[in-house]
Chains A and B, each alone.
Chain A
Amino acid sequence: MTTVRIPDDAQAIALGADALAEAFAKAGRKVERVSSWGMHWLEPLVEIDGKGFGPATPDDVVAILDGSSAKAIGIIADHPWIASQQRLTFARAGKTRPLSLEDYQSSGGWHGLTRARAMAPADVVAEVLSSGLRGRGGAGFPAGIKWKTVADAPGVEKYVVCNADEGDSGTFADRMLMEGDPFQLIEGMAIAAYAVGAGQGYIYVRSEYPHAIAKLNAAIKLAQQHIAPFQLEVRVGAGAYVCGEETSLLNSIEGKRGEVRAKPPLPALEGLFGCPTVVNNVLTLAAVPHILSDGGSALYARLGIERSKGTMPIQLAGNIKHGGLYETAFGISLDELVNEIGGGTASGRPVKAVQVGGPLGAYIPPAQFHLPFDYEAYAGADALIGHGGITVFDDSTDMGAMARFAFQFCAAESCGKCTPCRIGSTRGVELIDRIREGGKVTADAVEALPQMHNARKAGRSREEELQLLEDLCETMQFGSLCALGGFTPYPVRSALKHWPEDFS
């Protein structure tokens, strides 16, 4: 009897995959829970003999089984959305059972680790360096250089920490990888540990991801014999966005408030518990097993453009018709991603803006959709790639409200350590409110107090308020301790620049 394959990814479950699996089991079929292919608009996506049916509900079971279902999409692997991708990090997506060591091994699992452990640690670092792999968390720092720094740092105790605090709205690649292919992340961490001489690793996962936490805990237990003597532990966050910043993440693991640390010292030299520490994002570490496999490093370096090498798991999100996980080599344009692959908006209205890189990323208008997906090209356009999340907005969006939300979010999530972020974010919300009201006629009550010698006593015109906003953005961008305060001006400034009409 043929097996029915249904994802146990959180997105599929949130759309009813569990009830669907139960319905197939009731119909007498053997159900296998696998990872998700990443075509989220088709979830829950049922697979029988390679053919897909989605989005399926329990009412579709009979028709799917007798071959008359209108939800058939044909062979999943041949679907243009999948066939046009180049999946290295997500090579197993949709194909394997996440917690099956057998599936992992038969699809090339542990090859990278076995090969790495037969090499000198310095040679492992050299391969990562030559692959051109850059940190996928957002900053894009070359992973090999970070590893080399930790490897060369003096110290008996060293750590490998995986940053799985994926708090950016519009991103879900870390979650999908942890839920769908946890052994690959574990293997990547074991390779990193061998390369730098670390004995202990931590995966810091946000508490909003209960499925990922459960999968990782189970996977670590199963993989223990493969990664020994390396020890690995999951640590759970507690709802603080700023803990995705590497130094506050380290403080959080240490059991402290998630406040940002000043750099230097770099975490690579004085990181977790004061010891040399590799801190890498989930996607960075998960790319490592492929890079360490035979010829993997050279293939990785051949892909991509300029200094952005290899593939990027891009996440198409928000108001998009065909959203999900799209892994491809760097260099692809936004127009291809949003309009061709994504099929435009889900609402059917024109695209007004996309935000690339999460809440701290710039809003990009359709006029700039020719931008190639590349760290430097985005930086040159005052934008950032971040974690590769693309959130699409249609023409009903009020960009002034989105700019206000950027400040509001920063105020809610600021760790409070540095002044530009802690106070600037709240002042930013007030300023945008005043600008949208057309400026302020009189000075406010606090400004009018006699002891406020330097405050002006008259109100400000709208133009003066805009100038003040510009000053505030500059102060936050250059004066904040980390990316939260430092990048909040990106969505604000870009919204104001491209859609000034939304601020009046």
Chain B
Amino acid sequence: MGGTELDQIIAAHAGRKGALLPILHDVQHAYGCIDAAAELAIAKALNLSRAEVHGVVSFYHDFTPAPDPRPKVELCRAEACKARGVEALVPAAEAAAGERVNLREVYCLGLCAMGPNARIGEKLYSALDEARLVELVKSA
């Protein structure tokens, strides 16, 4: 990681108040992670220590230190989806995901009257049953 794209991202937010999170979002989006080299470059640009930047990166669930090239399926396992039976779908989803798919739990996608819900990229899926969820995981 490094070089021109990273510099461009940092430059695009120059002079912005509280620029760190917007920068981190863009870096995570562009590279799939925020590694040590990126932390160092961002720290230098914002006049922070690398420890300060790392502290922020490690705090938030959305930022990851290493890229995961696997497709990501986010399954909501919060109360409202639990009430609609998401836990019973988990074993089948995990079996379908295996090592190939990064099946992650999230707490709430805001579709709470029609769960269980999942998100793949920018796409949302509601009212899932086992067959539909397994199909989504397999085609992810």
Chain A residues with CB under 8 Å of chain B are 10-11, 13-15, 40-41, 43, 166-172, 174-175, 207-210, 235-241, 252-259, 273, 315-320, 323-324, 346, 355, 358-359, 389, 391-394, 397, 402, 405, 409, 412-413, 415
| A41 CA / B78 CA spacing, docked (Å) | 19
| A240 CA / B107 CA spacing, docked (Å) | 10
| A318-B84, A402-B79, A413-B107 given; A14·B114 CB < 8 A | yes
Q: Which of B88-140 contact A (CB under 8 A)?
A: 106-115, 117, 119, 122, 124-127
| A238 CA / B107 CA spacing, docked (Å) | 13
Interface size on B, residues (CB 8 A): 41
**Cβ–Cβ < 8 Å partners of B107 in chain A:** 167, 169, 241, 359, 409, 412-413
The answer to whether B18 touches A171 (Cβ under 8 A) is no
* B45 within 8 Å of A (CB atoms): no
| A255-B18, A257-B55 given; A318·B80 CB < 8 A | yes
Residue of A nearest to B119 (CB): A208
The answer to whether A11 touches B84 (Cβ under 8 A) is no
| A235-B18, A255-B56 given; A10·B83 CB < 8 A | no
The answer to whether A391 touches B117 (Cβ under 8 A) is no
| A207-B62, A255-B19 given; A14·B83 CB < 8 A | no
Chain B residues with CB under 8 Å of chain A are 17-22, 24-25, 46, 55-56, 59-63, 76, 78-84, 106-115, 117, 119, 122, 124-127
Closest Cβ of chain B to A362, distance in Å, is 12
Residue of A nearest to B52 (CB): A256
**Cβ–Cβ < 8 Å partners of A252 in chain B:** 21
Q: Which of A168, A402, A412 contacts B82 (CB 8 A)?
A: A402
**Chain A facing B: main interface SS:** mixed
| A167-B107, A238-B60, A238-B62 given; A255·B83 CB < 8 A | no
| A169 CA / B19 CA spacing, docked (Å) | 29
The answer to whether A255 touches B112 (Cβ under 8 A) is no
| A273 CA / B60 CA spacing, docked (Å) | 21
Q: List 10 A-B contacts (CB under 8 A).
A: A10-B110, A40-B113, A41-B114, A169-B81, A169-B112, A240-B60, A255-B46, A355-B79, A359-B79, A391-B80
The answer to whether A168 touches B83 (Cβ under 8 A) is no
Q: Which of B46, B84, B115, B124 contacts A10 (CB 8 A)?
A: B124
| A277 CA / B104 CA spacing, docked (Å) | 36
| A393 CA / B85 CA spacing, docked (Å) | 10
Closest Cβ of chain B to A4, distance in Å, is 21
| A71 CA / B37 CA spacing, docked (Å) | 57
| A10-B124, A238-B61, A409-B107 given; A318·B114 CB < 8 A | no
| A256 CA / B76 CA spacing, docked (Å) | 27
**Cβ–Cβ < 8 Å partners of B79 in chain A:** 169-170, 318, 355, 358-359, 391, 402, 405
| A15 CA / B132 CA spacing, docked (Å) | 12
Q: Which of B21, B78, B113 contacts A255 (CB 8 A)?
A: B21
| A413 CA / B22 CA spacing, docked (Å) | 21
The answer to whether B82 touches A405 (Cβ under 8 A) is yes
The answer to whether A255 touches B60 (Cβ under 8 A) is no
| A261 CA / B59 CA spacing, docked (Å) | 16
Residue of A nearest to B77 (CB): A405
**Cβ–Cβ < 8 Å partners of A10 in chain B:** 110-111, 124
Residue of B nearest to A259 (CB): B59
Closest Cβ of chain B to A383, distance in Å, is 15
**Cβ–Cβ < 8 Å partners of B46 in chain A:** 255
